[in-house]
Structure 1
Amino acid sequence: MRTASWTDSVSVLDRVTAVFDAFGEDDEGLGVSELARRANLPKSTVSRIAADLVAQRFLDRDGELLYLGVRLFELGQTVPEPRRLRRLALPVMRELRDVTAQTVQLAVLDGAHLVVVAVLRVPSAVETSTRVGGRDPAHATALGKSILAFSPPETVTRFASGGLTRQTPHTIGEPAALLRELADVRRRGVATEHEECTVGVAAAAGALLVAGEAPSAAIGVTGPVDVLFPDRVAPAVRAAAVTLSRLLAADRAR
């Protein structure tokens, strides 16, 4: 817990970090007052920091609400407008959360890593390391595997040849094994994960597929291995991915 004495002694960088950390539990926009409360900083300080971060595109402003900004998630050609993607996704994420009673994630591919851009939790969810801005090796996550499964073959070959680091004893470490797994994901339409990224955590995810485009984002659910059974939630995850893919395609068409 950050105390009053902490606010008097920390550097500017610490204060900026505190502002970013305030978004970890809420991806639907925060006002300056709420940001100040969560960061345990004076409202005037947060207001000044937020203005500078908006100017540099590290935060986005929509009326009185502030969002994690586009610049934090600029990933080349992956997702040109992360905030728009998050807004399109939120209703679908809420429905998936309510149906599965599990934490829902939205993530984009950044090179060999998956970056989480939105998280919706259930009140009763067991806390995990899932957070907005979190990065994990794509081959160790259901989200990443769901995207890689539908990526161009040359992309997958290049990815696999770059070396597959092991996050846990269950992480896929051999390129041939990864290719077999991706083929299975293409067949089922959903990728699953069982303690491959974090011990004790399971997940299921589906890529967002738009005709004529390589996939760059995915939606999925995650939770404790003794609570979340990927095969059981796979139909709901698949339906959510299809729905969000259609919304994204329609938005692009406009």
Structure 2
Amino acid sequence: MPLRRLAPVALISLLALGLIACTALTREEAAQALEEAELSGQASALTSNSIELTTTFTIGAAVEVAAGELVTFYEAQLPCAEVALAGATLTITYGVTGMCEYRGQRFAGSHSVTIMANEMSQVIVSHSWDALTNGELSVTGTAMVTWNGADLTRRVVHETTWTRISDGRQGVGSGDRTQAGLGGDITQGFTVDGSRSWDGDAGLWVLGIDSVAWRWDDPVPESGRYTLETPFDKNLTLTFSREDDTTILVVAASGAKEYEIRVNKR
């Protein structure tokens, strides 16, 4: 969940407010927490976008037929990708003719998709990524996605390793999240609840995700809350609320201190 644009403003706010109470994050810890959340968020957005690409098939069809429909979709909509089909498994290589782009995000790398079950009540799809990248971050790992036909949600259980390309910094982690279309319409955005955790340079980070709603063209969620447990035995909470069409208010709190950040669309 990309927090890239929060970091510079957040650091200035932290300095001005003196967010160094004994139970709060220090300035340096807060900077590291925001950076870790940014990197983990970029990895999540990258894989979520690739999962969304694999949803264009007929529910209830045989798994091999559904996989064939995905091939047709890729050939028509993403000529930047090369697709190979074997039974119900697709192997997709993005960026064969240059970086691919979908909903404003650029990516390249390898993605394997297996449709394991395709019933009206439940769809199960296995995903595997090898060096999937947006040019800044690379992700390798797996996810099992289970679609619930009754309440129109999907559960994503993942294990991934992300690497920042500029310096090789890594995070190794897992997560369990439930997602749904924003207002019932996934083309507008999504809602998510659950958690992610990862081991980074400083230790273990755990991110709780509570009723977060995110539009595809926004830089941060428009509502909901993140709670980040840090290796420093201190927490950082980020609460999101939309002020207008282009501005989202982020309230960051640690210990007894809190500060406000307004994030605008580019």
Answer yes or no: same fold by TM over 0.5: no
Higher helix share: 1
Q: Which gives a bigger RCO, structure 1 or 2 (Cα 8 Å, sep 6+)? A: 1
TM-score, length of structure 2 as denominator length: 0.28
Higher strand share: 2
TM-score, length of structure 1 as denominator length: 0.29
